Every structure is written in C-alpha cells, then in structure tokens.
Amino acid sequence: MTPRELNIVDGPDKPALQWSLTKPGECVVHFRVEGDAYDAQIARMDEGEDGFTFGLRGHLTSGELKGHPFEAVYSIETRSGRMRVDTERGAAHG
C-alpha cells in the first residue's frame, strides 16, 4: 500500500505546534484535511528559511488513521499544507 496523501486545509498556529512538541502525551494539535480531521502529536518540527513553513513529523492520535506516523510540510501563514501518512508501518502508537 502506498502512503496516504492528505491536503491540510486548516491547522494550528506555531505556539500550538511547539506546545505539542514539548508536551508529548499531553498536548495534541488539530488538522482539518479535505473531507476529514485528525488530531496529532508532533515529534519533530523543522523551521524553513522563510519562518512560516515547517517540516513536521509525528503520529496521528484520532480518526481512522490513529497511531500511524506522518510527515508534513505545513505553513503557519496560510494554515495549510500537505501530509503524508505512512499506512504501512501500522498503528504503532494507537
């Protein structure tokens, strides 16, 4: 099975992302994607040169893909981006 690609249409601000990163297990963030929504725990956050774009890694904590790891490119300026969910690795965190 290939990774699942999701378009993020709305998501958290930078402080919420940082809070999720520094408080694992306590704080999750919410991403609205086309046709659905997921909560996620952020495990890694890499800031791009523009200061608005971030590379994110973590795992989903809700919905049909709960527990699956993801990578995303996300803009806090537009609150949008692209998420790639690894459905092959299983729900290791679920």
First to last CA, the chain: 19
Would you kindly state where each structural domain of the chain is located, as residue ranges?
4-85
Confidence of residue 21 (pLDDT cuts 50, 70, 90): very high
The tens digit of pLDDT for each residue in 42-92 reads 999 999 999 999 999 999 999 999 999 999 999 999 999 999 999 987 664
**Is residue 90 within 8 Å of residue 67, measured between CB atoms?**
yes
Report DSSP letters for 56-69, one per residue.
EEEEE-SSTTTT-E
Q: What is the pTM of this model?
A: 0.90
